[in-house]
Amino acid sequence: MSSCSSKILALRIHALAKTFNRCYHRATALHCPSGPPKLSPYDVNCILRTNEHTQEFFGGSVKSYDSNQLASNSPIEDSRSEASCVHTSGLLLGIFDGHGGPACSQVISKRLMRYIAASLVPPDDLRQHVLNEFVSEIKELYEKSFHQFANELTNTTLAGFQMHQTLENAFIRLDQDLSREAIEMPSLRTMSVAMSGAVALVAHIDGPHLHVASVGDCSAVLGTVTDTGQWMAKKLTNEHNSDNVGEVRRLLSEHPATERDTVIRGERLLGQLAPLRAMGDFRYKWSREQLEQLVVPQFGEQVIAPYYLTPPYLSACPEITHHILTPRDKFLIIASDGLWDTMSAMQTVHLVGEHMYGKAFLQPLTLPKQDITLGEISQMLTTRKAGLQKKPLDRNVATHLIRNALGGTEYGVEHSKLSHMLSLPQDIVRLFRDDITITVVYFDSEYLRNCPT
């Protein structure tokens, strides 16, 4: 990454890729484990913990986050990234679920955070970075696109700044750049990005302000405690697919009435694509003439969908939610649909809440510094003994969620089921589970109690 990028944000990328056919949804009910488990508990733990990551923070509304990924195929198409904005106190976290190949999700995960972070830098400061650093480092096509975007930002002002508009502009501009790069400089690299696609979810947290921008069917869920101490799941996103009535109406309104029966067929866009919003996927955005000129010679006539009459059919414009955090908001879960296909929002919130309580018992017992009676010590030990029964197996809560997603039963996690799901043959695993990518962000209740909104 260029030195200018490190000044705008500190970026951590975890990118993997997948090839997945979404017909698997209920297949697990048809394929039950038989015989002894193929994997030992040690083997299972090694697989589940391979990609886990934990990051702690000091000061601000975010205490820490846990993240993890599990592939259903190799290479998988999910990617994730996390970034700290140097010029603000904001934290960016993203989940990117690719389809049609890994290229688009990998590229977006590495580029979108930079577009957003650059948009948050005061124009005068950004102008200095552009003049002093960017130009000499522009050697790649992606750097050139980012440089053009940054240059345009230097001509803006902070008057009337809206985070909603900043996020929307970054998503749309990156998607436009991906398109332009493939049209102006067609190559195996640019066309592989253009012909694949990805749904994306980015959360921006700055003090008590939480913004979530989503394109597609990744989801964000807020875990909140009620006045009575019960957990509540607040969903912050809507899936952009054929189950979303409002989304279907939006799409149909953008095309002639004569296409009402062909825009969505078999619950898919033009009978092919499940998400109704996505980045990349320019085979559903470019004109027929562009497809015939640029794509058909390489990929064949089948690249043009049936009834492709009035493009574009696909949008990269994100739906954005703003939430003001309170001390009752304890954590945020963002994940690809591989998690949500296996459990509900409320189930995930309960699992994370129980993990929060049980994780305290993973630490050694410490006695208070002040004088304490034997009776008080006895009470502490009794409480700890009861709590140890709820001690989680995993320190990382994202790993805890994946373990329960694949091995969970009404009686708890069953090792034989988990072993079976992790040892399915490569040629059928995609029929039983999707790739799973999860990030869980923990909030600092004390900070939120005292910070102004």
Maximum average pLDDT range among 160-169, 192-201, 362-371: 192-201
In angstroms, the CA 224 to CA 326 distance is 9
Could you count the other beta carbons within 10 Å of the beta carbon of residue 130?
A: 17
User: Residue 59's pLDDT is what?
Assistant: 87
* Exposure b/e, 268-280, CB count within 10 A at least 16 = b: bbbeebbbbbbbb
Q: Has residue 321 been placed in a domain?
A: yes
> Is 334:439 a contact under the CB 8 Å cutoff?
yes
Q: Has residue 334 been placed in a domain?
A: no
Characterize the bridge pairing of strands 9-15 and 78-85: antiparallel
Q: Which residues pair with 242 in a beta bridge?
A: none
> Is 107:114 a contact under the CB 8 Å cutoff?
no
User: Residue 363's pLDDT is what?
Assistant: 59
276-287: pLDDT as tens digits: 999 999 999 999
> Mind spelling out the 3-state secondary structure of the chain?
CCHHHHHHEEEEEEECCCCCCHHHCCHHHHCCCCCCCCCCHHHHHHHHHCCCEEEECCCCCEEEEEEEEECCCCCCCEEEEEEEECCCCCEEEEEEEEECCCHHHHHHHHHHHHHHHHHCCCHHHHHHHHHHHHHHHCCCHHHHHHHHHHHHHCCCCCCCCCHHHHHHHHHHHHHHHHHHHHHHCCCHHHHHHHHCEEEEEEEEEECCEEEEEEECCCEEEEEEECCCCCEEEEECCCCCCCCCHHHHHHHHHCCCHHHCCCCEECCEECCCECCCECEECHHHCCCHHHHHHHHHHHHCHHHCCCCCCCCCCCECCCEEEEEECCCCEEEEEEECHHHHCCCCHHHHHHHHHHHHHHHHHHCCCCCCCCCCCHHHHHHHHHHHHHHHCCCCCCCCHHHHHHHHHHHEECCEECHHHHHHHHCCCCCCHHHCCCCEEEEEEEECHHHHHHCCC
Residue 86, token pair as written in the block: 């140097």
The proportion of the chain whose per-residue pLDDT surpasses 90, expressed as a percent, equals: 66
CA atoms within 13 A on the CB side of 178: 35
Helix pair angle (415-422, 397-407), 10° resolution: 90
In angstroms, the CA 44 to CA 364 distance is 26
Worst-scoring range by mean pLDDT, 58-72, 227-241, 383-397? 383-397
User: Residue 439's pLDDT is what?
Assistant: 98
Q: Has residue 390 been placed in a domain?
A: no
Number of domains, the chain: 1
In angstroms, the CA 340 to CA 220 distance is 10
Tokens 């015939």 belong to which residue? Answer: 292
Q: Has residue 122 been placed in a domain?
A: yes
Q: Has residue 292 been placed in a domain?
A: yes
Residue 385 pLDDT grade (very low, low, confident, very high; cuts 50, 70, 90): low
Q: Using the predicted structure, report yes or no on whether residue 30 has a pLDDT greater than 50.
A: no
> Is 133:109 a contact under the CB 8 Å cutoff?
no
User: Residue 179's pLDDT is what?
Assistant: 97
Tokens 């492709």 belong to which residue? Answer: 308
One-letter amino acid identity for 141?
A: L
Q: Has residue 199 been placed in a domain?
A: yes
> Mind spelling out the 3-state secondary structure of 267-314?
CEECCCECCCECEECHHHCCCHHHHHHHHHHHHCHHHCCCCCCCCCCC
Q: Has residue 206 been placed in a domain?
A: yes
Across residues 139-151, what is the average pLDDT? Answer: 81
Across residues 72-77, what is the average pLDDT? Answer: 85
User: Residue 361's pLDDT is what?
Assistant: 53
Residue 426, token pair as written in the block: 């490569």
Q: Which residue has the higher pLDDT, 22 or 375?
A: 375
Worst-scoring range by mean pLDDT, 48-57, 158-167, 318-327, 339-348? 158-167
Q: Has residue 332 been placed in a domain?
A: no
Worst-scoring range by mean pLDDT, 114-118, 122-126, 175-179, 394-398? 122-126
In angstroms, the CA 373 to CA 375 distance is 5
Q: Which residue has the higher pLDDT, 380 or 98?
A: 98
CB-based contacts of 97: which residues, under 8 Å, 6+ apart?
77, 78, 105, 198, 199, 200, 216, 217, 218, 336, 337, 338, 435, 437
Give the domain extent around 255: 77-218+238-327
In angstroms, the CA 78 to CA 69 distance is 8
> Is 52:66 a contact under the CB 8 Å cutoff?
yes
> Is 109:193 a contact under the CB 8 Å cutoff?
no
CATH number of domain containing 319:
3.60.40.10
Residue 265, token pair as written in the block: 């067929």
Mean of the per-residue pLDDT values for the chain? 86
User: Residue 10's pLDDT is what?
Assistant: 44
User: Residue 41's pLDDT is what?
Assistant: 94
Worst-scoring range by mean pLDDT, 36-50, 242-256, 309-323? 36-50
